Amino acid sequence: MRLLCRYTNLFRLMYDVLLIPVLEAPMPALLPVFSCRVPAGFPSPATDELEGLFDLNRLLFRHPDATYLVRVSGESMSGAEIHAGDLLAVDKHLEADHGHIVVTVVDGDCTVKRLERRGETWWLVPANPAFEPYQIRTGEELHIWGVVTHVVHELLPGRLTALLHSRD
């Protein structure tokens, strides 16, 4: 079974999932990158060594013409640090494979899950023990809209929602 779909209508609203197209950025989003690492444990003196500038678009959107953004609802992927309200960068150019987190439609229902191969069968596996894995059966209608490459998780609540609503 080939688990790949080239979804072309990026403006479709389906099952409360808004697909947001990513267009070629007119200018790079150059941000400073510092050579020092920020410890997540005990504080240490900071250094001001600028390593260079980094284009965030090159990281998030390797294939801009085949990438879209989608908002998450629900908590079935919380163990993978994907939470309700997060924004996912999804690349349609990549072929889905074992271990990838994918956005998929199964029998008309849209979901984000980890794709796993167990022996000869494929599964859509949540990252939350409160949800059951879903076995993909032969002959079942399955469309993979793309592979999730990045998660934007908001730490200042409301800003991402306000930004997305300002596009309307």
pLDDT in tens, 47-88: 566 677 777 777 777 888 888 888 899 999 999 999 998 889
Domain assignment of residue 33, yes or no: no
92 is known as an active-site residue: no
List helix spans (H) across the chain.
Answer: 56-60, 159-165
Q: What is the mean pLDDT of the chain?
A: 77
Domain assignment of residue 80, yes or no: yes
113 is known as an active-site residue: yes
**Which backbone phi and psi does 124 adopt, to 5 degrees?**
-105, 115
Return the pLDDT at 40.
72
Higher-pLDDT residue of 28 and 91 is 91
Task: Indicate the pLDDT class of residue 142, thresholds 50, 70 and 90.
Answer: confident
**Which backbone phi and psi does 10 adopt, to 5 degrees?**
-75, -10
Number of domains, the chain: 1
Rg of the chain over CA atoms, in angstroms? 18
CA nearest 46: which of 37, 33, 58? Answer: 37
Residue 130 structural domain: 13-25+63-165
- Choice among 35, 44, 73, 76 that is catalytic: 76
